[in-house]
Amino acid sequence: MSDLEILAARFEADRGHLRQVAQRILGSAHEADDAVQEAWVRLSRADTTEVDNLTGWLTTVVSRVCLDMLRSRQARREDPAELPVVAAETADPEQEAVLADALGPALLLVLDTLGPRERLAFVLHDMFAVPFPEIAEIIGASPAVARQLASRARRRVQGSDPTNEGEIRRKREIVDAFLAAARGGDFGALLELLDPSVVLRADDAAVSMGVSALVSGPSEVAGVFNGRAKALRTALIDGLPGLVWALRGEPKVAFAFTIDEDGRVTGIEQLADPATLAALAIEFL
């Protein structure tokens, strides 16, 4: 068996997975088949001798192809609602059923309102658990931007939830309480708001300012903020409550909070990269 035949066999083993990825990103079985075929063309021309994870490599390739297709679709100003959800006649009925189960009509309509990068980040992370650093490489952005794009898309998808406004109000109360405790130096109150597994992550720009890239644990995270939040203001960051430090009205550092159902802060993202901040929708409260 030739090297190309071996490669083709490996590709066929991953074809089903790649088609699922492409279908969920594009919402069209016909376009998904085109994307998978293009991935094979690129694979057959590439030197993969040093590729350790061929499935991951192929997932990246087909995702990039899908991103190009979404951008081309947007550039042509096609109405996404007019695009076929599945291909006619020639589509695999089993694949059509998979797509119909995974992406119902309501979800497809919401996905069609997203930008190409938002849609890709949401699908890859929420449906296939692709890590944000890998998504960032595909879309040409930082992991923090990829995380925010997926978060923004997720909120759009969940926007029809009638409890959404109540959830935002609840989370704002928690962020306000966190800010009050930090400003007042109330270490105990900060601890009560933090989950035992809480982590504070900082992007590269924030690290260059002298902060730690990763801080773990309630005591450690509380210590970072305790008595040191005088200049922070509560704001909606891509629709969710967080904290922002601004200079003459221009955001310089944003703190994006992740809050669980029990009202505990499980994660905080410290974002200072100008490109990241420019990609965020920030509304001071």
Backbone angles phi, psi at 68, to 5 degrees: -60, -40
One domain, residues 210 and 272:
yes
Listed residue (256, 225, 75) closest to 155, CA to CA: 256
Listed residue (28, 58, 29, 25) closest to 44, CA to CA: 58
Least confident of 79-88, 118-127, 274-283: 79-88
At residue 191, the pLDDT reads 96
One domain, residues 40 and 82:
yes
> Using CA atoms, how far apart are residues 55 and 48, in angstroms rounded to an integer?
12
At 267, which CATH number? 3.10.450.50
One domain, residues 99 and 146:
yes
* 182 — pLDDT class (breaks 50, 70, 90): very high
At 52, which CATH number? 1.20.140
Q: What is the C-alpha R_g of the chain? A: 22
pTM for the whole structure? 0.55
Long-range contact list for 156-165, CB < 8 A, 24+ apart?
156/110, 156/113, 156/114, 156/118, 157/107, 157/110, 157/111, 157/122, 159/110, 160/106, 160/110
One domain, residues 94 and 187:
no
Give per-residue pLDDT as tens, 94-116: 544 554 455 556 677 778 888 89
**Domain with 210 in it:** 164-284
3-state secondary structure of 252: strand
One domain, residues 127 and 170:
no
Least confident of 127-131, 154-158, 173-177: 154-158
Last-in-domain residue among 157, 180, 211 = 157
One domain, residues 153 and 169:
no
Backbone angles phi, psi at 195, to 5 degrees: -70, 150
One domain, residues 121 and 201:
no
One domain, residues 123 and 244:
no
One domain, residues 217 and 102:
no
At residue 84, the pLDDT reads 40
Strand partners, 240: 237
Q: Residues 235-249: what's their mean pLDDT?
A: 88
One domain, residues 13 and 129:
yes
User: How many domains are contained in the chain?
Assistant: 2
Last-in-domain residue among 157, 185, 217 = 157
Last-in-domain residue among 157, 179, 200 = 157
> Using CA atoms, how far apart are residues 117 and 113, in angstroms rounded to an integer?
12
Q: How far is CA 106 from CA 111, 113, 118, 161, 182, in A?
A: 9, 11, 17, 13, 42
